[in-house]
Each structure stands twice: as C-alpha cells, then as structure tokens.
Amino acid sequence: MSLSGRLSLFVALIVIGVVASVAYLEMRSFARDIDRELVDAARLGAQSAADNLAAREPSLDPRDIRDMLHDLAEADPVLDVISVIEADESGHFRVFASTSTEERAEVMDVAGRAINTKTPATARTPAIVMVAMPVPRRATYAAVATVGLDGLQRARDQALRIALGFALPTILLVTILSHLTVRHLVGKPLAAIVRTMDQTAGGDLHARTAMIRRDELGTIATRLNGMLDQLERFNRSLHTELAVSQNQLLAVRESLARAERVAALGQVAANVAHQAGTPLNLMSGYVQMIRDDPRTDDRIRSRLQTVDRQIQQVTRVLRTMLDYARRPPGFEPVAVSEIVERVREIAQPRLSRSNIRSHISIADGLPPINADVTQLEMALLNLVTNALDAMPGGGSLTISAAAHEHGIRVEVADTGPGIPPQIIERLFEPWVTTKPTGQGTGLGLAIVRDVVTAHGGSISARNESDGAVFVIDLPAAGAPATTA
C-alpha cells in the first residue's frame, strides 16, 4: 500500500473510532433517559394507587379498587399492570385487586418487601420493571406498578438505525475526501520525485523534478535537484580525469606493481617479526630477572640493562613491521590452559618487577581448540603487555578461561584506568593507540583482532568499575566459528 493509501486508511480509522464512540455514547444516553422515564412512570403509578387506597374508607371493595386501577392504567399507557397486594394474618401474600388476571411471582416478592420494610421497593428483570409502594395507614397493603421494557428495546433499535444511517455516510464521505486530499498533497509530489529518481537511475543525469512547494516535500525536491546537479558535475569531472594518456596508465600500472612488491615484502617482514616476538619477550624477561637479582654485580647489571634496552628497541621495530591482515599458517588441537600458562611464564618477570598481582582461573574440562600456538600466544601476550602498561604503579591482572556456548571464552582484566570512551569503538582499528607518541604503533590490537578472527573467534573490550576487560571467544575444535 502506498503512503497516501496508508494515510487515508489511518484517517478513516480515526473517523470510524470517533463516530462510533459518539454514536455509542448518544445511544447509551438515549437509552438511559428512556429507562429513567419508565421507572418514574412505574413509581408514579404505584404512588397514585397507594395514595388512592389510603384515602378510601377502612373497608375496601375489590371491585371498586380494580376499577380504580384500570383508570390509572388507561391514564398512563406506559403502565402494563397495576396490582394491590394484601398480606393476610398468617403472613402470606395474595392479590387483592389487579388489572391482570394472573400475577408474576416477582410481583409478590417486591410487594412483600415493601410491606415488611414499609419503604418503596424496586425489582427488574430483562423484560419488566416493578415498583412497589406501601399504602399509608394500611400496613398490610402495597400497590405495585409494572412497566414493560419492550419500548426501551425498540428505542435502542431505533437509535442504532439512526446512528448507522448517520455514521456510514459520514465515514464514507470523510474517507473519500481524505484520500483525495492526501493523494493531492502527498501522493502526486512523491510520485514526481520517484519518477525523477527512476529517470536518473536509467542514466538520464539531466532529469530534474519541477515541483515547487514551500513545505517538506518541496525541500526534498529542491535537495534532490541539488544532489543531481552535484552528481552531474562529478560525472563530467570523472570523465575528464579518466581521459588520461597511455603513458599515464602505464605509470599507474608500474606503481601498482611496485606497491604489490612492497606489500609482499612487508608480509614477509611481518612474518619474521611475529615469529621473533616470543623469544625476544622471553629473553627480555630473563635479562630483567638477572639484572634485578641482588647477587648480580653492578658492572654486569649495567651491561644487562644495555642489553635489555636493545632488546626493547628491536621489539619496538618488529612490532611496527607486523602485518595485521595475515592468517595463521597452521592449526593444531591445543589446550587453552597451556597457552595461558606460557604467557604467564613469559610475563612473570615484569609482573614481579611492576608489583602486579596475577590471578589465573582455568575452568575444568575445557575442550581443546584448533589454533596456531605461536600466533595465539603472541595475541594473548599482546593483551597482557597492554594491561601491564596500563598499571605502571602496580595493580592486579586476571586471566580466566571458561566454557561459553560452542567454545571457550578467555578474559584478560586489569585494574588500570580503563579505555578512553572516545576510542573504545575504534580500539581494534590500525594505528589507534592509547599510549604516548613513540611508545606504541597502534597495530597491536589490530593484529590481535585479526589473529582471533583467523581462528574463527571474536574479540571485544569493555570498561568495568575497576579497569578494562578484553574478551576473546574461540570455537572448540570441531565447533562452528563465532561471529566477529
């Protein structure tokens, strides 16, 4: 359904709701008024009969009373039956006089209540309303007037017919007028805009909409024409730029070939850098342990410090050479606990030196994963190194592994300052770093992301109240890969 059709339907539904509500309330009010008039007529008839009885002599003649009741019934055609009910000495009720040859049991009940309580009593059924009035100065008598509700039902039916006769034409007329108005104000302008867009999609870049209006649709048409003008200018500019000489095309091809050779060389360099990273980190850790040992001679400590600075320099150079788009070359079943333990062993010297407490939590019975051990170890070590850099004054590092859906979830949490909110969404993009200039290349987390993705997993980061948490989800061996 088109927009104009939906708007017309929406207006029609509103009109239907409003008209139906008004008609229903009017019918309710009309029926309530008629019902009140019928009850008032019954009460007035019963009161007139009771007053007439009270004014008569102590001895009552049933025939005179019956004639009086018939006169009252003829005076008000709404009254169906008027009866006088008497209670005998034993407390039973009987008809003393009535305009009907037989009485309902409900009439006896309501008359009995009026006689016993000495107050008016009312009863109703779906078909009739009965009002009983005790007779003053005659404690054993009550006058009962009965009114039928057939007139009320007829009034309701008539009101319904009137409401439908008014509502249906009103709804139809308003719907038609709404549809015509919406089609004129919305449908035709939108059709003109769509027609212009179709012409442009067909290749006619000179197509423009001629609609001029001072509303939102006119603004859309003006903006569309402006976009088409820009598209046409861009198309002319593109054709001009593509009209280059053959020599320029050859130069471009040669540049592309050189770029491919450089990319291949960079990939080889990144491969070498990645493989050399783990032993360099291990060497650095043990050099630092020997240097910080109190038994080490000062001269040897000075030399070891020089060695450590050179190792760190080589490590920084190698990190800048990493190719974050390379997939791991080989996979084999491996236990996550083994990788975590090796990473902790490598990082232990720096953990001790930096006064950082480490907590390792590995759940029992974890399934193995298919992984390139070196690549995954380097990725996890990169996260640990970043955590250590975030806690120069000491803190706590937690590495945990547990089962998660179809695989294993590894979490690396620190108690550092957390990740700045302005970069947390771009944290795994290349060249994005939270470290000062000269201390980070911005490629580490991009490499970690690509290593994890190559293993069929996903990585994310979040801030907690006491630091940052990096989460790695890896599929178990034989399980489907997770969505990155």
Determine the pLDDT at residue 327: 45
Range of the domain at 272: 246-323
Pair 356, 449 in one domain: yes
The C-alpha atoms of residue 284 and residue 388 are separated, in whole angstroms, by: 15
Please provide the distance, in angstroms rounded to a whole number, between the alpha carbons at the two ends of the chain.
38
**Tokens 């402006």 -> residue:** 226
Report yes or no on 174 lying in a domain. Answer: no
Among 243, 267, 295, identify where a domain stops.
243
Pair 53, 150 in one domain: yes
Report yes or no on 186 lying in a domain. Answer: no
Structure tokens at 475: 């599929």
DSSP state of 118: S
Pair 419, 443 in one domain: yes
The C-alpha atoms of residue 258 and residue 246 are separated, in whole angstroms, by: 19
The C-alpha atoms of residue 330 and residue 326 are separated, in whole angstroms, by: 12
Neighbours of 256 (CB within 10 A): 10
Pair 129, 235 in one domain: no
The enclosing domain of 142 has a CATH number of 3.30.450.20
Structure tokens at 152: 């009320």
Report yes or no on 193 lying in a domain. Answer: no
CA distances from 439 to 351, 418, 434, 444 (A): 19, 18, 10, 12
Pair 86, 128 in one domain: yes
> 354 near 391, Cβ under 8 Å?
yes
Pair 218, 311 in one domain: no
The C-alpha atoms of residue 407 and residue 473 are separated, in whole angstroms, by: 7
Determine the pLDDT at residue 274: 59
The enclosing domain of 254 has a CATH number of 1.10.287
State the average pLDDT for the chain: 79
Instruction: Please name which of 386, 412, 267 lies closest in space to residue 327, comparing C-alpha atoms.
Output: 267
Among 282, 308, 323, identify where a domain stops.
323
Pair 106, 26 in one domain: yes
Pair 374, 442 in one domain: yes
Report yes or no on 141 lying in a domain. Answer: yes
Report yes or no on 23 lying in a domain. Answer: yes
Instruction: Please name which of 463, 454, 465, 390 lies closest in space to residue 423, comparing C-alpha atoms.
Output: 463
Pair 74, 91 in one domain: yes
Among 154, 182, 214, identify where a domain stops.
154
CA dihedral of residues 40, 45, 46, 49 (deg, nearest 10): 160
Pair 374, 385 in one domain: yes
Pair 395, 461 in one domain: yes
pTM: 0.37
The C-alpha atoms of residue 45 and residue 98 are separated, in whole angstroms, by: 13
Residue 133 bridge partners (DSSP) = 143
The series of mean pLDDT values per 10 residues for the chain, 484 residues long, is 72 79 76 82 89 85 88 85 87 86 82 90 86 90 86 66 73 78 75 81 79 76 82 78 59 50 54 65 77 82 77 66 50 89 85 88 90 86 87 90 90 90 82 63 78 90 90 84 54
Residue 295 phi, psi dihedral angles, 5° rounding: -80, -10
Number of separate domains in the chain: 4
Pair 363, 445 in one domain: yes
Work out whether strand 121-124 and strand 93-98 pair parallel, antiparallel, or are unpaired.
unpaired
